[in-house]
Copies of this chain bind each other. A is one copy, B any other.
Amino acid sequence: MAEPVRIGVLGRGTVGGAFCELIAARAGDVAAVAGRTPELAGVLRRSEGDFDEILAGSEIVVELIGGTDPARDYVLRALRSGTHVVSANKQLIAQHGDELFAAAREAGVQLRFEAAVAGVVPVIRVIQESLAATEITKVFGIVNGTTNFILSEMANTGASYSDTLARAQELGYAEADPTDDVNGADAAAKMAILARLAFHSPVGLADVDFEGITEIQPEDIAYAKELGLSLKLLGVAERVGEGISVRVFPCFLYSGHPLAPVEGPFNAVMVEAPTITEITMSGPGAGGQETATAVLGDVVSIVAGRAPVHETRSRLKIVRDLSSSFYLHLEVADRPGVLAQVAEVLGRNEVSVRSVVQRGHGDDARLVMVMHEGAEARFQAALEEIARLDFLRSAPRAIRVIEEEFN
């Protein structure tokens, strides 16, 4: 049995709490993938615990304090003592990246920070690993969930910026002091990190021009909607000639754009390079569990050291009796009672109808229906009966429908 791997956690807020729970719940999976069982070496709270003691007992330090002081000092001391560090702290990486990366390289330890940008959306790993040797030309996207929630709500309700902000605060999507989110500064820090990693060039906060959403009027969103446009707060980092540009600004997107459907507190990042066309990644940009999951992914990678080789851990039963929603297309004779007979068969088989369209006349009469979700076996039984009805002009066509609507 390999030694357990001891993890010191700095900070015990929402993310810290979720991470401690996750480590306990998933310890077996970490051991299966990485070969060692994680153990908490200690948790540093504002009022409790001693950093030096926790550091001395840890192989990995997880920094979830936020801000730069004392986070910078703690992380530097951890790295210099030969301890791997995982951080979720965008300000720390954006403002002190050079110093921290140098310390990690010098000590030969890892510094991982997936959770610092776009939460559990794996944009840092993809840029630093999948695309490590790829010439990235542009990284852009929605990296602040608070402002995306506010803009989505304004578009859906027509409410003003200030009313929508108040609602976002009520729902927990905006902080009591939302300044850094709504003025673009939070997104700017994240774009500085992404630009630095994508272009291998030092990018500081002062290099990022940013604008926020505080001046947006509901009527701008409404007018633009008529032009087929939706409003997002975008971060854009791109190569321009021999230089780069890194900016954050509110921006309209045409409906065909991959980022146009990203609504609510979600984040989404696109990466472009000549050899990849583009990759888009999206998901929740915040949330205690989501951020903690990103941190756990970094911890596992540090412990595993190299790519885990897949290993079967269970032998799960293949299930075939499933529930689905179906679309049903029937070419029918144009005569009374057709709908009633079809409905009777469906009803008897406990298949519930969501919507019906009856179309055409004479030789072109059709019945098109969408069902509510139900047992596939029951729908198949109904379908076999329907196929035998004498007014059908051709075989019925059934296609599954995914009912979930997102966002």
Contact between A122 and B133, CB atoms less than 8 A apart: no
Apart from the given pairs A234-B402, A277-B283, 10 other A-B contacts in the complex at a CB distance below 8 Å: A122-B122, A132-B304, A200-B312, A229-B401, A243-B318, A251-B399, A276-B283, A276-B290, A280-B280, A280-B283
Per the bound structure, the CA–CA distance linking A121 and B196 in Å amounts to: 22
- Tell me whether A129 and B297 are in contact in the complex, defined as CB-CB below 8 angstroms, given that A101-B311, A257-B402, A261-B261 are known contacts: yes
Task: Give the residues from 318 to 337 in chain A that come closer than 8 angstroms, CB to CB, to chain B.
Answer: 318-320, 322, 327, 329
A56 adjacent to chain B (CB < 8 Å): no
A252-284 to B contact mask, C-beta < 8 Å, 1/0: 111011101100000000000111111111111
- Closest residue of chain B to A131 (Cβ to Cβ) is B297
Rounded to whole angstroms, the CA-CA distance of A199 and B34 in the bound complex is: 16
CB-based contact B275/A290 at 8 Å = yes
User: Is A171 in contact with chain B by the CB < 8 A criterion?
Assistant: no
Report which A residues bind B (CB closer than 8 A): 22, 26, 29-30, 32-34, 97-98, 101, 104-105, 110-112, 114, 120-122, 125-126, 128-135, 196-197, 199-203, 207, 209, 215-217, 219-220, 223-224, 226-227, 229, 231, 234, 239-247, 249-254, 256-258, 260-261, 273-284, 287, 289-290, 292-294, 296-297, 300-302, 304-320, 322, 327, 329, 355, 357, 359, 366, 368, 370, 397, 399-407
**Are A133 and B30 closer than 8 Å at their CB atoms?**
yes
Decide: A98 and B318 in contact? CB cutoff 8 A.
no
Given contacts A243-B318, A327-B220, contact A400 B251 (CB under 8 A): yes
A129 in contact with B316 (CB, 8 Å): no
A219 to chain B: which residues have CB within 8 Å?
329
* Known interface pairs A97-B310, A110-B306, A402-B254; A275-B292 also in contact (CB < 8 Å): yes
- 18 residue pairs A–B, Cβ–Cβ below 8 Å: A101-B310, A111-B309, A128-B308, A129-B300, A129-B304, A129-B307, A134-B293, A199-B314, A200-B313, A223-B359, A239-B316, A246-B318, A251-B400, A252-B327, A256-B405, A256-B406, A256-B407, A275-B290
Known: A313-B200, A318-B244. A223 touches B293 (CB 8 A): no
> Is B202's CB under 8 angstroms from A315's CB?
yes
How far apart are A373's CB and chain B's nearest CB, in angstroms?
Answer: 13
List B contacts of A120 (CB < 8 A): 130, 276, 279
Give min CB distance, A202 to chain B, whole Å: 5
Contacts of A322 in B (CB 8 A): 240, 245, 247
Closest to A307 in B: B110
Distance from A142 Cβ to chain B, minimum over Cβ atoms (Å):
12
Q: Are B275 and A279 in contact (CB under 8 A)?
A: no
Bound together, the chains give a CA A275 to CA B294 distance in angstroms of 10
